């Protein structure tokens, strides 16, 4: 009698997604802490740097809230922190990143790049493509459920 070995691959679920998120975020937060920055500050600063046009504080709050689902008051406080650290500067009604803000984002990006390469390296392209599709669908559905809960 021939026995066929069975390989059961794990099926992704919400807990697995959360564990992966928090593991990766933990790496980023460790790097950010060495630079005196928080995760929320990094997200808000990245939003200010990567937009094509200057953003008002309300624009940035909306953008960050859409990404993180964070409390607008916390995001506003974070923008104030970035202004106090001179990583953002007020330019009329808009907030613009300073050279120091751009340098911080570049430094933390350079520091996390080799770590990210080790984390993501060796994962087959087809797996990354499938994971990308699944994550996009989960994000879309979760955003729709949150919108229904808060309507």
Q: What is the pLDDT of residues 44-60, one digit of tens each?
A: 999 999 999 999 999 99
pLDDT over threshold 90, residue 2:
no
Q: Is the pLDDT of residue 106 over 60?
A: yes
Q: Which residues pair with 94 in a beta bridge?
A: 91
State yes or no: pLDDT of 42 exceeds 90.
yes
Name all domains of the chain by residue range, CATH numbers in brackets. Answer: 28-108 (1.10.10.10)
Round to whole Å and give the CA distance between 12 and 22: 15
Question: Is this prediction's pTM over 0.85?
Answer: yes
Mean pLDDT of the chain: 94
Instruction: Tell me the pLDDT tens digit for each residue of 58-92.
Output: 999 999 999 999 999 999 999 999 999 999 999 99
DSSP H or E run through 143? helix 125-150
Model pLDDT, residue 10: 83
Spatial separation of the C-alpha atoms in residues 12 and 3, rounded to whole Å: 28
> Comparing 5-9, 21-25, 51-55, which segment has the lowest mean pLDDT?
5-9
pLDDT at residue 3 is higher than 70: no
Q: Are 81 and 41 in contact (CB under 8 A)?
A: yes
Mean pLDDT of 100-109: 98
């Amino acid at each position: 009698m021939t026995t066929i070995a069975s390989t059961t691959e794990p099926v992704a679920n919400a807990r697995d997604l959360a564990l992966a998120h928090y593991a990766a975020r933990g790496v980023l937060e460790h790097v950010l802490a060495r630079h005196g920055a928080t995760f929320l500050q990094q997200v808000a600063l990245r939003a200010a740097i990567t937009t094509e046009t200057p953003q008002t504080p309300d624009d940035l709050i909306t953008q960050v809230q859409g990404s993180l689902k964070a409390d607008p008051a916390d995001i506003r406080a974070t923008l104030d922190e970035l202004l106090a650290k001179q990583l953002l500067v007020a330019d009329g009604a808009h907030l613009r990143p300073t050279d120091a803000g751009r340098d911080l984002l570049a430094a933390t990006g350079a520091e996390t790049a080799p770590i990210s390469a080790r984390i993501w390296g060796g994962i087959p392209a087809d797996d990354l493509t499938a994971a990308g599709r699944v994550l996009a669908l989960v994000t879309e559905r979760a955003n729709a459920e949150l919108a229904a809960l808060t309507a």
